[in-house]
Structure 1
Amino acid sequence: MLPVTSVAPVRVASSDARDPQLAATSLASQLYHADLACVLFFCSAEYDLARLGIALEHVFPQVQVTGCTSAGEITPQGYGRGCITAIGFDRRYFSVDCALIGELEPFSLQDAQGLVDSLLATFREASLAPVKGHTFAITLLDGLSSREELVLATLNAALGSIPHFGGSAGDDERLANTHVYFQGTFHTSAAIVLMINTPLDFKVFSTHHMRAGDDKLVVTRADTGARRVYELNAEPAAAAYARSAGVRVDELDRRIFALRPLAVRIGDQYFVRSVQRGHDDGSLTFYCAVETGIVLTAMRPGPLLANLGEQLAQAEHEVGPPLLTIGCDCFLRRAEAEFSGFVDEASAFLREHRVIGFNTYGEQFDGMHINQTFTGVVIGQPAHASR
């Protein structure tokens, strides 16, 4: 529960009602008030999305509502499945605006600059807090579009010093259709940019718990546009990857992909590239960009919760007691927790740290598209509430 104050800067809600109208009504009963500025939600793709979109617009009149489909939800109770979870922002603490990128393919730097300038104009008019040091952006992208890298790099150039993070929309691991939501409609092959200005302290961060092994796999043949690798070390990709993972090719599955990802090293940092699926021809499709010539390092998981706990503790030390953490948590991290038998512990951990968010098909951090990470923002409580 939030501290008892005269104003709650955010309210959080969730519903496991499967009927879209009932789910939307439940959220409204938990979130709606006279100063509600924006609702950010994450929902299962199992909903009738057309009906859910209409219902959300109906129950939140004259309120900005945005969100995306997920591969699992993070609710006030911890991990959820087949449900919807949401955050309501109070206009007295948050100035919020969002925009839709309706076509990802032609998105240019000029488009990005125009979008960012338009969003920033909202904050200057509201005069809630200075833009510099008090503004961050959240990006939500179609998780099966294969356009994340281009859009994020372009947007990051326009954002300049404004920190941003986000997640790729999921569809409950069906790998068929993922959606973002804007102005009453769910969209595919699209992205949402949500920009938030607040006088409250916040910290945007990203972390992963993977540790580098000794094996190096060079991409020797790939279809970059499709993120499909045909050869690693000049042999069928699945065979080389399976040998590195210590399994047979016919044993490659969701569990192996979660526990044995690969990564690109840039400087002294490793950026994870997770395998999405294998194919009968021995090729592998990845969730992130891959191209011929890059060197991939075999990775092994370290302690997931300890790593995340360190990052959250550091962020909470900077901003004070947390009001809320908005989290984009790779669905493969959740899969690891399920396979390893500590999903209940992970769920309790997320609840303790006031995390609301979703399980993603990819994470975004300051212009980069990555996998098997937790990215997000810790927002501190108002000064009067933390004393």
Structure 2
Amino acid sequence: MTAVYHALSRQHDASLAVAELAAQLPLAQISIVLFFCSSRYDLKQLAAAFSERFSDTQLVGCTTAGEISREGYEAGSVCAIGFHHAYFSCQAQVIEQLDGFDLLRAQRTITPLFAKLPQANHQHILALTLLDGLSSQEEVVLLQLETALGRIPHFGGSAGDNNQLRRTHVFFQKQFYSNAAVVILLQTALPFQVFSGHHLVPRAEKFVVTAASADYRTVYEIDAEPAATVYSRLVGCDPEHLTATVFALHPLAVKIGQEYYVRSIQRVNADGSLTFYCALGLGAVLTAMDNTPMLPALAALFADCEKTVGPPLFTLGCDCVLRRQELAERGLLAEASAFYHENQVIGFSTYGEHHEGVHLNQTFTGVMFGQPSIDTIEMEIPCDR
């Protein structure tokens, strides 16, 4: 018996793409289908096709800044994962209107989902979040959800729109939403390990944010100078030449405790300010970071997870779009795709990653599931379909 099923379509037509996915998935055996799609699709047509073909199946997903299929990096595709109901019991809910999200709303979201799961094996639960990547609400929403989740491991990613930075969407059941999030609880007897990692190390240079709007994730001044001027001087180019590739190769981070958390730049603005993918406040200290080789760091991260789960079944990954851009700049996309293929990675390129209530940038964050064993089969989660 297969615990998970993978599907991929590179069809440009939304209806044909969904039909191709449905043909690859045994829907009657699936607890939930999770998909990641290019924002180049006509989303109204895509939603209508999903409603027709997946009408009796729990269905969640989001738009991307690129997809990761069984074959590696994709662009302009839709890929999906079907979780077999003998191994996974899954419950999902959409959260609309993220502004002002508080702990009470978080509890009202999580508690009913938790109650619908089989009461046996409650220790085998993890949470996945998908969130509008241009909502600027990740920090607040993730913190409140993490509090409501308690000790349940939690990871996820922020939806993208192929680097257009216009509008991103999450999907729940029959429609796409903006300014929204989807929370999925997965209960399984399979071994799993939630993880997050990156390949960046701190340099000596440090800077202080001296004018900023945390609500808009925009830094106006660094060290009392226009933010873009200071950053351009650091990376050695003129402000008008700042691009996503430059941001990927020259990241900045804040230090919290003993850990460095990257705060990736999204764009440079006409007034010389910088807008980030994560919130930054007045007085934040930024550290310049260096890029070490990415793929050896990723291989070490996977090897560490395998110590916990044993031989891997597959990995669900949320991969920052700036990592993909760095790989492209260094000519390593094919090598990375081969690594993902060999390690059975499925996922998407994000506008931010979620790990244990924290909003991250330039990480590979996800969950690795181990292979079913005889003991696992005997512990099959009862189906609540």
Alignment partner of 1:35 is 2:29 = yes
In the alignment, residue 40 of structure 2 is paired with which amino acid? E
Partner of 2:241: 251
In the alignment, the residues of structure 2 paired with residue 79 and residue 385 of structure 1 have an alpha-carbon distance, to the nearest angstrom, of 34
Q: 1:3 matched to which residue of 2?
A: none
2:303 corresponds to which of 306, 313, 319 = 313
Deviation, 1:321, is 1.1
Alignment partner of 1:155 is 2:137: no
Q: Is the 8 A contact 1:212 1:299 kept in 2?
A: yes
Q: TM-score, normalised by structure 2?
A: 0.96
Separation in 1, partners of 2:60, 2:344 = 20
Which of 65, 75, 78 matches 2:72? Answer: 78
Contact 1:97 1:195 in 2 (8 A): yes
* Structure 1: segments with no counterpart, 5+ residues: 1-6
Residue in 2 aligned with 1:218? 208
Match of 1:130 in 2: 121
1:103 to partner: Cα distance: 1.2
8 Å CA contact 2:27–2:57 kept in 1: the answer is: no
Aligned to 1:266: 256
Letter in 2 for 1:83: S
Say whether the 8 Å CA contact 1:215–1:298 is kept in structure 2: yes
The answer to whether residue 9 in structure 2 is matched with residue 15 in structure 1 is yes
* Structure-1 separation of matches of 2:295 and 2:197: 11
Structure 2 residues without counterparts, runs of 5 or longer = 377-385
Alignment partner, residue 293 of structure 1 = 283
1:374 is matched with which residue: 364, 373, 385? Answer: 364
Preserved CA contact (<8 Å) 1:32 1:60 = no
User: Structure 1 counterpart of 2:70, which letter?
Assistant: P
The superposition leaves residues 74-100 of structure 1 with CA deviations (integer Å, 9 ceiling, x where unpaired) of 011100000001000011000001000
Aligned positions, number: 377
C-alpha distance in 1 between matches for 2:3 and 2:128: 18
Residue 382 (structure 2) aligns with:
none
Contact 1:239 1:282 in 2 (8 A): yes
Q: Distance in 1 between matches of 2:361 and 2:115?
A: 33
The 5 Å alignment of 1:1-387 reads: 7-123=1-117, 126-127=118-119, 129-132=120-123, 134-384=124-374
1:31 maps to amino acid = L
Percent identity for Structure 1 against Structure 2: 51
Q: Structure 1 residues 242-251 or 346-355, which shifts more? A: 242-251
By how many angstroms is 1:385 displaced? 10
Quote the Cα distance in structure 2 between the aligned partners of 1:294 and 1:34.
51
1:356 partner amino acid = I
Q: How big is the shift at 1:217? A: 1.1
Structure 1 distance, partners of 2:301, 2:155, is 15
Q: Hey, which bits of structure 1, 4+ residues long, moved more than 3 A?
A: none
SS in 2 for 1:34: helix
Q: TM-score, normalised by structure 1?
A: 0.95
List per-residue Cα deviations over 1:260-319 (Å, max 9, x = no partner). 010000111100000000012111000001011010000111111111111111111210
| C-alpha spacing 1:319/1:21, structure 2 compared with 1 (3 Å) | same
Is the CA contact 2:96–2:180 (under 8 Å) kept in the aligned structure 1? yes
| Distance in 1, Cα, partners of 2:236 & 2:298 | 27
Whether the 8 Å contact between 1:57 and 1:65 is mirrored in structure 2 is no
Partner of 1:306: helix, strand, or coil? helix
Rounded to whole Å, the distance in 1 between the matches of 2:257 and 2:142 is 20
Task: State the shift of 1:18 in Å.
Answer: 1.0
Partner Cα distance (1:270, 1:218) in 2: 15
Distance between the aligned counterparts of 1:153 and 1:286, measured in 2?
Answer: 19
Residue-by-residue CA offset, 1:228-269 (whole Å, 9 max, x unaligned): 101001101001111112222222111110100100001111
Assess if the C-alpha contact under 8 Å between 1:142 and 1:179 holds in 2: yes
Counterpart residue identity of residue 160, structure 1: G
Question: For the residues of structure 2 that align with 1:250 and 1:113, how far apart are their CA atoms?
Answer: 46
